[in-house]
């Protein structure tokens, strides 16, 4: 029995190390943290100008773990996106750069995620440090919120075209 307990403890420890190894974390200026996995690359922004709190890497992983499933099961009648817009987002999902920050809505912690396909050099250089706001731009830019306590995605907005 003691041997089984030791083996179980080793397995649990190794799984925790494996989980941590899946992330490449990098502190960048302005207190931001770069999060990079094989499935996504994003930055946790903590600028008090637009962020009420700073999400942890674990909360970002929780958010990302169900994100593509949410998109593929999204009921398009809610927003009635143009044909192909949602599919474009799904097809290019891994290519979007993510900007995460924490807001509070009615006292509840919400992760706001800004997603962008980076096409120009200026944005490519600055997306890790500055919040990028784009009007129009089509499905190359969209945002979504995730209510932490309820583990619920909400208020997805895919940009329109000019």
Categorize the per-residue pLDDT at 81 as very low, low, confident or very high, splitting at 50, 70 and 90.
Answer: confident
Distance in angstroms (rounded) separating the CA atoms of residues 111 and 107: 13
**Whats the size of the chain, residue-wise?**
162
3 within a domain of the structure (yes/no): no
pLDDT of residue 40: 95
Q: Which of 25-34, 58-67, 70-79, 140-149 has the lowest mean pLDDT?
A: 25-34
Give how far the C-alpha of residue 119 lies from the chain's centroid of Cα atoms, to the nearest Å.
19
pLDDT of residue 38: 93
127 within a domain of the structure (yes/no): yes
Domain that holds residue 110: 23-158
17 within a domain of the structure (yes/no): no
Q: Quick check: 3 pLDDT over 70?
A: no
Per-residue pLDDT tens over the stretch 111-122:
999 999 987 665
Distances (CA, A) of 142 to 78, 98, 156: 16, 10, 7
Per-residue pLDDT tens over the stretch 83-107:
788 999 999 999 999 999 999 999 9
144 within a domain of the structure (yes/no): yes
Categorize the per-residue pLDDT at 36 as very low, low, confident or very high, splitting at 50, 70 and 90.
Answer: very high
How does DSSP assign the chain, residue by residue?
A: -HHHHHHHHHHHHHHHHHHHHT-EEEEEGGGEEEEE-SS-EEEE---TTT-SB---HHHHHHHHHTHHHHHHT--TTTT-PPTTHHHHHHHTGGG-EEEEEEEEETTEEEEEEEEE---SHHHHHHTTTS----SS-GGGEEEEEEETTTTEEEEEEE----
Categorize the per-residue pLDDT at 4 as very low, low, confident or very high, splitting at 50, 70 and 90.
Answer: very low
How many structural domains is the chain composed of?
A: 1
pLDDT of residue 18: 34
16 within a domain of the structure (yes/no): no
Distance in angstroms (rounded) separating the CA atoms of residues 130 and 45: 8
pTM exceeds 0.95:
no
Across the chain, what does the average pLDDT equal? Answer: 81
60 within a domain of the structure (yes/no): yes
Average pLDDT over residues 53-74: 96
119 within a domain of the structure (yes/no): yes
């Amino acid at each position: 029995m003691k041997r089984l307990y030791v083996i179980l403890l080793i397995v649990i420890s190794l799984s925790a190390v494996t989980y941590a190894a899946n992330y490449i974390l990098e502190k960048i200026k302005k207190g931001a943290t770069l999060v990079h996995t094989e499935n996504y690359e994003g930055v946790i922004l903590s600028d008090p100008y637009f962020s009420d709190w700073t999400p942890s890497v674990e909360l970002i992983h929780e958010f990302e773990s169900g994100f593509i499933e949410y998109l593929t099961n999204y009921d398009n009648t809610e927003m009635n996106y143009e044909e192909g817009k949602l599919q474009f987002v799904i097809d290019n999902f891994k290519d979007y750069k993510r900007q995460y920050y924490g807001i509070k809505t009615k006292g509840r912690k919400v992760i706001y995620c800004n997603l962008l396909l980076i096409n120009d050099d200026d944005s490519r250089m600055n997306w890790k440090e500055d919040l990028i706001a784009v009007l129009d731009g089509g499905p190359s830019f969209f945002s979504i919120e995730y209510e932490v306590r309820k583990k619920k995605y909400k208020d997805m907005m895919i940009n329109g075209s000019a």
